[in-house]
Each structure stands twice: as C-alpha cells, then as structure tokens.
C-alpha cells in the first residue's frame, strides 16, 4: 500500500510538471496536488536523485521541472585498427556520446554530421582540418598506451572540445572564445600575438605528429610562464594570443618562453591593434 502510494505521488508530480514549460516551485506543486508541502519537498528531492526531475535556483526558491536528458554528441572514429576501435568503445562514455566507427576506405570526408572526428589517418586529418567546420583529433603514438585508467581524462577532453570553443590539439581556447572574452572585459586590455615563424616548413619536414607535439609544447610553456589574470588562446595553426592588463610583465615572461623553444623554431611577438 505504501509503495503504491509513493508511486502515485511521483506520477502526479510528473504529470503536474509536464505542462509547466518554465517549471514550478514546491509551494505551487503542493497546492496543485493538494498535498502537504513537506511531503512534496521530500518526494522532489528523491525524484531528483533518481533523475526523474531537475531543479534550478531562482531568487530564494527552487524551480522544479521534468528531467531533460542531454542529447548525445556524435563522435566518429575513422580507423582501421580494431584494437583502437575496441579501446574507444570501452572508454567512451556512451551516456554522453554516440560512437560511430568507420574504416578509412569507406569514410566520406564530406560527411561532417559528427560533433567530433577522431582518426589515425594523416591524409583524412589534413582534408578535414582544411574544412575547419568541426573539431578533428589525430591519434598519435601517445594514444597507443591508453588504458582504462585514462577514461575520465579522455571523456573530459572530448567533452571540452565538443562543448566549448577549444583548439583540439593544444586544449587552449580558440579565436571565437578570445573574441567573447574581449567583449566581456570591462576594463582595457592589451592583446599580444605570438607567431611561430617557419612552422609550415617544420611541418613539411617533420610531419603532422611532430608539429602537433611542438604546438602542445609551446602552449604548455606559455601557460607555465604567463602569470594569472591573462587569457591565452590558440587562434590559428602558428599563432597564439595573450590578453592581459600587464603588458610589461608578459614581455618579461616571453623572453623565458623564447629560450625554451630555441633552436627548433623562432617565436616573434607583437602587440595587436
């Protein structure tokens, strides 16, 4: 009898909230269902834990609504290596992501319906990057050592790349994110552009994976040497931007950055207009 009563109250709450586009407070629900507010409050918390409903803070009240399951993001893995396919099938959080497996021979580069494409083929990677419509990740030798302990990090990285405006290689905010940051800033800021001279030649000579590793290294060095209260963005393949209120401090930090990079590549910086 108690179990049936519990389910009846849950069903009534769900039915009541179904017609509420903007949700309802506990007081509104208890009045609408003609039940004690404390009882309804208890059920609301239980149903939230069961992911039947969700809540959001509004003023000093909680507004309750039916639980909207987040739409899965589509991740396409283009690879002929069955071990890597199996690995991603095990690692990827299938509650968040829909995994689509493709072979390199059958994959159509014009098919860009995914939110993210991951591939081991440098040829496919280059073709897709030139389109610049969706993020693309290239699997390098560092992916060969992935094990189940990396589950959280991999899902977190993929989620950030899909959901936010991040560079898929360096993990830094991209050009769109930089513009949004500048528009939100109230006080004046200076923008410093860092350009990697000779990067195209380095890429042709050393290959994609080596050039990606250099980008990762440079981004890491910049992050480690630049102080807080700055915004670092990777705005194009060979260019980074640092937004700051402390121009002189960044210039001093840049001298350290250049020393780390020599003699591989030459970095030049200038204040952007």
Phi first, then psi, for residue 231 (nearest 5°) are -125, 120
Q: pLDDT-based confidence at 24, cuts 50/70/90?
A: confident
Average pLDDT along the chain = 76
Report how far residue 197's alpha carbon sits from residue 215's, in angstroms, rounded to the nearest whole number. 12
Phi first, then psi, for residue 102 (nearest 5°) are -135, 145
Sheet (strand 231-236) strand order: 231-236, 239-244, 190-197, 266-271
Report how far residue 193's alpha carbon sits from residue 209's, in angstroms, rounded to the nearest whole number. 24
Q: pLDDT-based confidence at 251, cuts 50/70/90?
A: low
Most confident of 99-108, 129-138, 194-203: 99-108
pLDDT for res 1:
40
Strand 231-236, strand 190-197: pairing: unpaired
**pLDDT tens digits for 46-77?**
888 887 888 887 666 788 888 665 667 888 88
Report how far residue 258's alpha carbon sits from residue 269's, in angstroms, rounded to the nearest whole number. 10
pLDDT score of 225 more than 80: no
Cis peptide, bond prior to residue 263, ω within 30 of zero = yes
For residue 74, what are the β-bridge partners? 98
Q: 156 or 25, which is more confident?
A: 25
Closest alpha carbon to 223 in 170, 162, 154: 170
pLDDT score of 165 more than 50: yes
Q: pLDDT-based confidence at 114, cuts 50/70/90?
A: confident
Report how far residue 121's alpha carbon sits from residue 119's, in angstroms, rounded to the nearest whole number. 5
Closest alpha carbon to 230 in 254, 262, 256: 254
Report how far residue 74's alpha carbon sits from residue 117's, in angstroms, rounded to the nearest whole number. 9
Within 10 A of 54 (CB to CB), how many other CB atoms are there? 15
Report how far residue 27's alpha carbon sits from residue 31's, in angstroms, rounded to the nearest whole number. 6
Report how far residue 4's alpha carbon sits from residue 10's, in angstroms, rounded to the nearest whole number. 10
Please give the domain boundaries of the chain with CATH numbers for all domains: 2-66 (1.10.10.10), 73-163 (3.40.50.11370), 175-271 (3.30.70.270)
Closest alpha carbon to 230 in 220, 238, 222: 222
Report how far residue 65's alpha carbon sits from residue 53's, in angstroms, rounded to the nearest whole number. 6
Most confident of 20-34, 119-133, 136-150: 20-34
Q: Which two tokens stand for residue 77?
A: 């893995």
Place of tokens 């030139």: 130
Q: Cα dihedral angle (178, 77, 123, 140), rounded to 10 degrees?
A: 80
DSSP string, 105-149: TT--TT---SSEEEES-HHHHHHHHHH-SS-EEE--GGGGG--GG
| pTM of the full structure | 0.45
């Amino acid at each position: 009898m108690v179990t049936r009563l519990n389910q009846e109250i849950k069903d009534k709450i769900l039915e009541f909230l179904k017609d509420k586009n903007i949700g309802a407070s506990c007081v509104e629900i208890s009045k609408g269902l003609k039940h004690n507010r404390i009882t309804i409050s208890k059920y609301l918390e239980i149903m939230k834990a069961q992911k039947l409903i969700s809540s959001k803070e509004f003023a000093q009240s909680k507004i309750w609504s039916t639980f909207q399951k987040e739409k899965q993001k589509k991740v396409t893995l283009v690879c002929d290596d069955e071990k890597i396919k199996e690995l991603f099938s095990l690692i990827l959080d299938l509650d968040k992501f829909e995994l689509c497996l493709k072979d390199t021979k059958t994959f159509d580069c014009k098919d860009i319906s995914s939110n993210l494409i991951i591939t081991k083929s440098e040829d496919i990677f280059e073709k897709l990057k030139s389109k610049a419509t969706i993020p693309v990740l290239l699997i390098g030798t560092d992916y060969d050592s992935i094990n189940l302990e990396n589950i959280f990090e991999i899902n977190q990285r993929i989620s950030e790349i899909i959901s936010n405006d991040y560079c898929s290689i360096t993990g830094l905010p991209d050009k769109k994110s930089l513009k949004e940051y500048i528009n939100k800033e109230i006080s004046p800021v200076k923008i410093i552009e860092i350009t990697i001279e000779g990067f195209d030649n380095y890429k042709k000579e050393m290959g994609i994976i080596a050039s990606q590793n250099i980008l990762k290294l440079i981004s890491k060095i910049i992050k480690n040497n630049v102080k807080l209260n700055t915004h670092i963005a990777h705005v194009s393949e060979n260019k980074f931007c640092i937004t700051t209120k402390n121009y002189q401090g960044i210039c001093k930090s840049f001298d350290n950055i250049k020393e780390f990079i020599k003699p591989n590549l030459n970095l030049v910086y200038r204040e952007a207009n």
